[in-house]
Structure 1
């Protein structure tokens, strides 16, 4: 088996382990807070929101640092740093004694996080460019499938052993994933000995001077902002549609429909981006997401919401893999990880800001209005892709195709 394929298959399994482990935790943070002594419902909501955002805040701040080190010492080293570090921190979270200690541990977890972005960087830089779309789509399929299975496994574990045990199991799963990477993943990495020593701001200016990288960062932020603004609040809309009957079950169906469709489409759309160009896949998947997001504001039955969420998931399957493939296409040589690092910071910023703004929008105009605002945000993203990303990407894609034809002949 070719080295890049071997790495890909191993990292798909490891991403599944890590994401399923992480998503065992998130749905139960409010319940864990109650176990830690926070009993007032308003305080639980406040602490849960702060603790959820804390992880993304520190991850956003430290991502450029880790990406700089990845370009110097290799992406595999950053996967191991994050994997073994998160295994320890999350294991310690099971010993938290109150909301403040839980907050500190979540902040620390964000500092050393980065398993998924480093895996994306390793796959992108060690995979032939003509296979990058397929590889990144396959990698996303592993992560999304973990996101589907994680809450189910976490619910079973919490019921059987309690909430603290979930953190110990999560730490163990991430430790196993990091150990597998240590033993079986091989990276072809040569550091650049002539690299100029610059600060983070200097690196950001150098990278974003290359078109359309800055536009891609804005696109990644807006995608996460729009998607994460809606996702955490789907259960509230389901409660409105079913009048409080079996809300947890039906909300799980609506959320799982999106994840399952995302998993089904991501690899196929990745293959398509290798043939037709990732910029075209990004454009049409964004357009599809807008088309299926708007009718959700007007549904009257649960089945209508589930069907539309499924089609949204099909479209979402092509967004981030295509954006990552484009980042790889335009990244300056020797600065690939830093280029991904700033993209990851944009993603974390969207993850952090999206739910906050989404909650404020729902409080002001209701959940139905949120769907329309998210659709408008994604429509703005379509315009940016059309005007800023596609011209430069189409030119580069055609150039690389011609180069491959010349090399093969």
Structure 2
């Protein structure tokens, strides 16, 4: 088997383990605070659950660019192992927490040492044939999405079977397994001596250098908007489902979870297919098409009158979302200068974390002013379509103008 395919298989499993481990605690976090850590006040429990869950994203937002710079200098595989083994240790320690402050500190520490996903993307993008880039990154993305979908489901099953604390120990063991497989089987083409000769630059200077490449801010904004679009309405989804059920409570939790996760299933299916298509017709076109499609796909959600209509609308939304992050990653590799790939991907990861942070907060804040969750759907449509227009100007139109300019120079 070709080396890049072996890397892809191992890193797919690694991404699945990391993302499932990160989301496995979602269903039972409030119960863990109540039954194992001794909290009794419902408001205190809900407040701490939100703070603890967000703590990981806050520190990840800050530290991702730092690890990206280290990866560009010493190699991406080293960052995979640092992050994988580090998160495994922290996850096990969470199982020994005795109060909310300890759990919050460990979640924030987890964000500090995280970075497996951007390191995996950077490694694949720099060690995959250009003609297979879209397919490889699309497939890799499906592993992360699969973990995000199945993580809460697996966590819920394990909570009933082995208790809350044991889940942290199991997750830590699985992260260790994924890291060991990466250590043994993932191979990277990286010239450490050449990287060491390049001058060290600060995070701020690296950001300024990359910001001058006008395509990259547009791509980072796409990542931010994807996460914002999904997270701004997600906390309100159970209430929306309850409203569509006209007050009926039977199967409410199941239906709310099903509606929230169905976009992930269609995303997982579509990512490799759209990635392969982007290898044929160009990532810029797929990105623009999927931004338009995702924006339009939010409109039916604002107009639905039943849960099954919402289910269908969100399934189609997931198809378009499946083409966004893989093409963003492909284009970041295309426009990033050689030797700065990991740092560029780490900035993109920071934008992703920022979207995860502000989406729920902003959505909850403005929902009362713009007609609840239905208003948020329309607002998201407008933001995604504006983002599509910006992407068209900076990616497709600029590329076309560059090609025409080159043709004129050739004729002259």
TM-score, normalising length from structure 1?
A: 0.94
SS in structure 1 of the partner of residue 234 of structure 2 = helix
Match of 1:352 in 2: 357
Instruction: Tell me the distance in 2 between the aligned counterparts of 1:48 and 1:340.
Output: 29
Describe the shift of the 1:207–1:38 C-alpha distance in structure 2 as closer, same or farther (beyond 3 A): same
Match of 2:147 in 1: 146
Describe the shift of the 1:173–1:395 C-alpha distance in structure 2 as closer, same or farther (beyond 3 A): farther
Asked whether the equivalents of residues 73 and 196 of structure 2 are also in contact (C-alpha less than 8 Å), the reply is no
Matched, 1:137 2:143: no
Match of 1:406 in 2: none
Match of 2:229 among 215, 226, 231: 226
Match of 1:164 in 2: 165
Instruction: Tell me the distance in 1 between the aligned counterparts of 2:27 and 2:403.
Output: 41
Asked whether the equivalents of residues 34 and 45 of structure 2 are also in contact (C-alpha less than 8 Å), the reply is yes
How far did 1:69 drift?
0.4
Match of 2:382 in 1: 376
Greater shift, 329-338 or 226-235, is seen at 226-235
Match of 1:246 among 236, 241, 251: 251
Asked whether the equivalents of residues 54 and 107 of structure 1 are also in contact (C-alpha less than 8 Å), the reply is yes
How far did 1:179 drift?
0.7
Instruction: Tell me the distance in 1 between the aligned counterparts of 2:200 and 2:398.
Output: 28
Match of 1:402 in 2: none
Greater shift, 372-381 or 83-92, is seen at 372-381
Aligned length: 399
Over the aligned positions, Cα root-mean-square deviation in angstroms equals 1.7
How far did 1:80 drift?
0.4
Instruction: Tell me the distance in 1 between the aligned counterparts of 2:250 and 2:136.
Output: 42
Instruction: Tell me the distance in 2 between the aligned counterparts of 1:15 and 1:213.
Output: 24
Instruction: Tell me the distance in 2 between the aligned counterparts of 1:26 and 1:121.
Output: 28
Paired residues for 1:311-326 under 5 Å: 311-326=316-331
Instruction: Tell me the distance in 1 between the aligned counterparts of 2:117 and 2:49.
Output: 23
Paired residues for 1:36-55 under 5 Å: 36-55=37-56
SS in structure 2 of the partner of residue 27 of structure 1 = coil
Instruction: Tell me the distance in 2 between the aligned counterparts of 1:129 and 1:391.
Output: 22
Match of 2:103 in 1: 102
Instruction: Tell me the distance in 1 between the aligned counterparts of 2:383 and 2:46.
Output: 27
Paired residues for 1:172-321 under 5 Å: 172-191=173-192, 192-242=195-245, 243=247, 244-321=249-326
Greater shift, 369-378 or 51-60, is seen at 369-378
Instruction: Tell me the distance in 1 between the aligned counterparts of 2:128 and 2:116.
Output: 18
Instruction: Tell me the distance in 1 between the aligned counterparts of 2:380 and 2:312.
Output: 18
Instruction: Tell me the distance in 2 between the aligned counterparts of 1:46 and 1:342.
Output: 29
SS in structure 2 of the partner of residue 327 of structure 1 = helix
How far did 1:210 drift?
1.6
Instruction: Tell me the distance in 2 between the aligned counterparts of 1:55 and 1:394.
Output: 41
Describe the shift of the 1:395–1:329 C-alpha distance in structure 2 as closer, same or farther (beyond 3 A): farther
- Runs of 5+ unmatched residues, structure 1: 400-409
How far did 1:395 drift?
6.9
TM-score, normalising length from structure 2?
A: 0.93
Asked whether the equivalents of residues 219 and 384 of structure 1 are also in contact (C-alpha less than 8 Å), the reply is no
